[in-house]
Amino acid sequence: MLCLFALPQHALSDVGGQMKHYADEYAKCENPGSRLRLANDFFAYLLKTDYIDEPIVFPADSHIDSVDVNVYYYVSEWYYGEGDYKSAVDYCSRAVQSCTDKVDDASKSDVYGLLGAIYFRQSAYEKAAEALNRCYEIDKASGDFDRMSSTLNGIASVFVAAGKPKEAEKYILEAIAANSLTENLTRRAVLYGTTSEIYRSIGDMEQSLEYALKALGTERQLGDSARLGVRLSQLASAQLGLSQIAEARRSLEEAIPLLHSSGNLHSWGICQNQMGDILASEDKNEEAAACYLEAAMLFLKQGDKYNELHAREGLYKVMKSSSPSEAMMHLERAKQLQETIYQSETGEALSKYNAIYFNDILQKEKERAEQRNQTFVLTIVISLVALLALVGMGMIVTYRRQKQKQQLYEQNLKAMLYRNEQIMRKYQNAIADTSLDLASLTEDDKQFLLQLRGVIYASVETGSADLNTIVAQMHINAVTLRRRLSQTLSVTPKTYILQTRMHIAKYLLLNFRDMSIAEVAEKCGYSQMSNFTRAFTNFYGIMPSDVRTQILK
């Protein structure tokens, strides 16, 4: 079946209509070649609408399973953001079906993580735990601490929502421990926020406030106003738990406009519930009812039973005197929601997944204890060497194998560094501007970033520093590059490449004065002088022609 995409004219200004049309057309398409073309059209549209910030292009030899996973994932993610969880589950389930051995583990992890988040929003906690279990197993096998911390955070959130905060505590603390091995501050803010919610559910309000303040401080450091609104909401919850009503009101008054302007309606609805709680405590029942009702209608539309329950219970309390019949209607709805959320099967299912993860955490603790006692164990082995000769020989063989692996790794690393040495030496001053603190990264991340940096410098040298060239030389696709840079440096490929080109441009202008500005532009991958001048001026606040006559900060 040949699929030729033709967008209806009436949908040109309707983003939702366009997304639905792409999704429907792709799902109906059966011809692999046509699916590939349609996928590339779809990602070109996402780039045009700024949903993604760098192009994603699948070459002709791409495996269709990998293409399917990415298309369905982004469609599902969009529906999830719109609060259409039914459609989000549909397309994410399609992505799961496409997760064959031809698809990389990072993509599989993303798919199961998203599916778990969607089920969580639907209060389908058993399904959420199952999806996150699959996600965690993939992350654990890869040794990716950042992904592990994210998945453990999701598991903790499931247990909190299911009324098992004490079970959630061990997962969130393990998530924070995993995150401490990374430099991902964005994730850290999320983990602190979740920890605050967990301790609030347990009833430890002092701990809840402590972690809420940590989350808010980290988020202010990052400067994202949308996420800042979420942290303020979490802080307000802790303040309410400590009866700090005035402080909670101030937090919400700052949070609500931030969340509304960013379009984060889910968190905005939670803030409406919180403000309703404050107004109800002040006997301002009519104003409280307005807040609760807005939240209830929003969560009813989104299918978020947990937060709708909060709103319905609030409506009953503030309306039972003034409008008893309407209050009873909200109470009946609250009972229906409660029965749906806390059914016994859910508790049994969560207990099953709890056992899986708890055993895993115990195993980690055992490994850590073994490491701490390594010196003691070696002493015992030496003293009993005559009796444990066979064990000793086994240890020697294991040690030699590990040493061989380490030597092989060092040889590969030296070879990679040597390949990039000439180019990196030429731009050694520019490299200082983009140097990386590799000490806190895993060996895999170090090797990846060193290789990427060398490829970018080589691409700049040949005047071909574009994303497609770089991913081709790295032998990965743009989606994978985006994920890796986001996890290690918290930047997009587009931003990192631009930074590198600008630093090298600055270096060439200052140190190669016989090179014309046009030649510098060409060396940095710009075929048009006007584009280079605009990019350089926006980046440094000074025109390239003025660099040689002024001191560039």
Task: Report pLDDT digits (tens) over 120-156.
Answer: 888 788 888 889 988 988 988 888 888 888 889 888 8
Q: Given this model, what pLDDT does residue 393 score?
A: 45
373 in the same domain as 342? no
Closest-CA residue to 515 (of 502, 525, 505): 505
Q: Given this model, what pLDDT does residue 68 score?
A: 92
142 in the same domain as 100? yes
45 in the same domain as 129? yes
190 in the same domain as 80? yes
CATH number, domain at 341? 1.25.40.10
CATH number, domain at 527? 1.10.10.60
CA 207, 209, 211, 215: dihedral to nearest 10 degrees? 170
Residue 4 within a domain: no
Closest-CA residue to 170 (of 43, 34, 420, 359): 359
Q: Given this model, what pLDDT does residue 211 score?
A: 94
Q: Is the pLDDT of residue 18 over 50?
A: yes
76 C-beta neighbours (distance < 10 Å), count: 27
68-77, 410-419, 518-527 — which is least confidently predicted?
Answer: 410-419
Residue that terminates a domain, selected from 368, 388, 408 = 388
383 in the same domain as 339? no
Residue 213 within a domain: yes
Q: Given this model, what pLDDT does residue 302 score?
A: 79
Q: Given this model, what pLDDT does residue 371 score?
A: 54
Residue that terminates a domain, selected from 347, 369, 403 = 347
367 in the same domain as 289? no
364 in the same domain as 340? no
Give φ, ψ of 524 to 5 degrees. -95, 10
- What's the CA gap between 95 and 108, in Å, rounded? 9
Closest-CA residue to 73 (of 89, 60, 57): 89
Q: How confident is the model at residue 85 (pLDDT cuts 50, 70, 90)?
A: confident
375 in the same domain as 459? no
Element (H, E) at 298: helix 285-302
Residue 325 within a domain: yes
Q: Into how many domains does the chain fold?
A: 3
Higher pLDDT: 196 or 478? It is 196
Q: Is the pLDDT of residue 496 over 90?
A: no
Residue 397 within a domain: no
Q: Given this model, what pLDDT does residue 454 score?
A: 77
Q: Is the pLDDT of residue 358 over 60?
A: no
531 in the same domain as 464? yes
293 in the same domain as 356? no
Task: Name the 3-class secondary structure at 517.
Answer: helix
Q: Which two tokens stand for residue 322?
A: 């003034």
Q: What is the mean pLDDT of residues 156-176?
A: 86
Expressed as residue numbers, the domain containing 374 is: 351-388
274 in the same domain as 215? yes
Q: Given this model, what pLDDT does residue 463 score?
A: 62
Residue 138 within a domain: yes
Higher pLDDT: 390 or 180? It is 180
Residue that terminates a domain, selected from 335, 363, 388 = 388
% of the chain with per-residue pLDDT over 70? 76
Q: Which two tokens stand for residue 454?
A: 């060398």
Q: What is the mean pLDDT of residues 509-518?
A: 80
Q: What is the mean pLDDT of residues 3-24?
A: 58
Q: Given this model, what pLDDT does residue 341 score?
A: 65
117 C-beta neighbours (distance < 10 Å), count: 21
Residue 1 within a domain: no
Residue 419 within a domain: no
Q: Which two tokens stand for residue 13?
A: 């200004």
Residue 463 within a domain: yes
Q: Is the pLDDT of residue 493 over 80?
A: yes
284 DSSP 8-state letter: -
237 in the same domain as 92? yes
